[in-house]
Chains A and B, each alone.
Chain A
Amino acid sequence: MRKFLQPVLAAVFGLAAGLGVTWIAGENPWHVLRILWGSAFGSSYDFGMTLFYTTPLIFTGLAVAVPFQAGLFNIGAEGQLTLGALAAASVGALWPGVPWPMAPVLAILAAILAGTIWGAIPGWLRARRGSHEVINTIMLNFIAAGLASYVTLYLLKNPDSQNPETRPVGTGYLIHQFGIFGGAPVSLALPLAIFAAVLVWILLWRTVVGYEMRAVGQSEPAARAAGINPAKMRIIALSVGGGLAGLVGVGEVLGNAGKFRLGFSPEYGFMGIAVALLGRNQPGGVIAAALLFGALHKGTADLDLETEHVTRELSLVLQALIILSVSAEGLWSWMKKRGES
């Protein structure tokens, strides 16, 4: 029971505290809540946009969750997804003539590969050089942003546009968008994300590698005693995480923009941390939490226009407060004790 109750309560705590912040800023919290709800679920287009934001959050949530199961904290999903999207767009821009079923497969593989490499680097550094993955993944985020900016502005610049973006990909690369969302770019990337979550579940709970990864996450000495190689598991876990983050590029490049746009991600990578933690680092939980944060992201986007003081950054504040609520072990054990007595 606690398994479900705790995240739900944490989300409610976080949301309430966040609305408290808006009240301090001079807004009516009830008004803010109504805008959030209406903007996230008010029409089929709004709901479509919520699902559009949910899609990358499932990928980044999984990208944080898999390494977390192995005891690693992947703050690098932002860099991994940047390079994944860039790789997909580069393949599509360099070979625009590839025909349909093959083209998206090629681009998806490129996205996975780029993300995997960007995840494997901090995995290797942690496993072989002992340097902490939190610092390295943050540094790699900045490096990825620099590389993406270079490729976009110097190598693959779109000559027909003033915006910092690459040339468009060939039409064979574009994937199907569902028509029922009033034009919101909900594409095949959404079922792909859910499929990825199922694969992650199988990997973690139905394979030997997954079992060994979780063993390393729970206790390294015990895992070592059982003959498991922790270094190898760490590299695998962060590589898988990186590959999953790279898949964000599928929805953005193949399912929405048709090109790589600098700064397309409103920190999906950071949001993935909140998604993973609220989802208790389990694939099913990640999907549910991604939907919540997708809705919050869509909802807060309209706060800029609809309120006097509250801006979309409220979304970050809400995420932070929810993470804090989830993580407060002492609070939960205290509540449990009260509940039992």
Chain B
Amino acid sequence: MTGQLIASTLRVSTPLIFAALGGMFSERSGVINIALEGMMLLGAFAAAVGTLLCHSPWLGSAFGIGAGCLLAAVYALFVIRLRANQIVAGMAINMLAMGLTPFLCKVLYDVTGSTPSIPIGERFQSAPLYLSWVLVGASFLWLKFTATGLWVSFAGEHPEALDAAGIRVNRVRWMAVLVSGALAGMGGASLSIFLSSSFSRDMTAGRGFMALAALIFGKWKPLPTALACLLFGFADAVQIRLQGVAVWGDHPIPVQFIQILPYLVTILVLAGFVGRSRPPKASGTSFQKG
């Protein structure tokens, strides 16, 4: 029972970890990424389509990553080049993904609800789980020990200093947002072709926002962020496990109360701990060379 719960926690945390790492690069560079949810959703859809097309989860996730990048490029265009309000444009990107996925699903498969189911042999068994933790380590090393990783942090903390050093701030932010889209796309892919057997409508169910919460809880650092994802993943795993289980007497807890558990945990965690964590200084502001 405990072993199963741990395994299930690790599995359902995977999409959150990819998305939260993605959000981390974007936010460390100074671009708030409310659009993670939409990038995940489009990534989940594209990965399912790609897998159905190529019969390989790896090629499928390449589709998901590509779709995440594409949406991230639209987002970057608006918030970096056109200086749109990051939260407003981010929400618009989410709505775009919410509308486009059923629309494209209808064009491709003639139904708006979900894609056809993917045979088990063509889905991921466990690869994304390992990959996500490898990326946690790689992100840590990259941000800490490489010049480009340092640029990302400076773009978010002291964009003027980075600019004075001759590095173009907005180019660094572009790269960070694209990486963010790629990771969110992979997060979406791990929802549709790793944790489930198809894409279904609005399947991200707020995970992009949970990833943001994990990121804040994890103080914008790779390992603490990943651990926060595990916490939310645990709430989700417990939720799945408790459905239909009688806890006191013969009465199972109504399923509605169990399903809201991860959302409740997210609010409580943010309320309890966020006071002590500080976002990158220039986060949310567009950079214009003076």
Contacts and interface: CB of A to CB of B under 8 A. Distances in A.
Interface of A: 21, 25-26, 73, 75, 125, 129-132, 134-136, 138-143, 146-147, 149-150, 153-154, 270, 273-274, 277, 309-311, 313-321, 323-324, 327-331
The 8 closest A-B pairs by CB, nearest first: A316-B99, A320-B96, A330-B82, A323-B92, A131-B270, A317-B99, A327-B84, A328-B82
Nearest to B205: A142
A324 B103 contact: no
Given A136-B270, A150-B256, A313-B102, A330 B81 contact: yes
Interface stretch (B152-160, B174-182, B209-217): B209-217
Contact of B216 (A73, A132, A150): A132
Contacts of B95: 270, 273-274, 316-317, 319-320, 323
Contacts of B244: none
Contacts of A317: 95-96, 99-100, 103
Contacts of A146: 256-257, 259-260, 263
Interface string B70-107: 00001000100111110111011111101110110011
A321 B92 CA distance: 7
Contact of A321 (B96, B213, B271): B96
A147 B261 CA distance: 12
A125 B83 contact: no
B267 A139 contact: yes
Most buried by A among B74, B98, B103, B205: B103
Contacts of A153: 256
Contact of B254 (A73, A150, A329): A150
Nearest to A334: B82
Interface residues of B, number: 46
Nearest to B279: A132
A201 B82 CA distance: 30
Given A313-B103, A316-B98, A328-B78, 5 more contacts: A135-B212, A142-B206, A314-B103, A316-B99, A329-B83
B21 interface: no
Contacts of B290: none
Interface in B31-55: 34
B275 interface: yes
Contacts of A331: 82
Contacts, number: 147
Nearest to A321: B96
A138 B82 CA distance: 27
Contacts of B84: 324, 327-330
B88 to A, nearest CB: 5
B100 to A, nearest CB: 6
B83 A311 contact: no
Nearest to B265: A139
B7 interface: no
Contacts of B274: 129-132
Interface in B95-121: 95-96, 98-100, 102-103, 106-107, 112
Contacts of B254: 150, 154
B237 to A, nearest CB: 17
B106 A143 contact: no
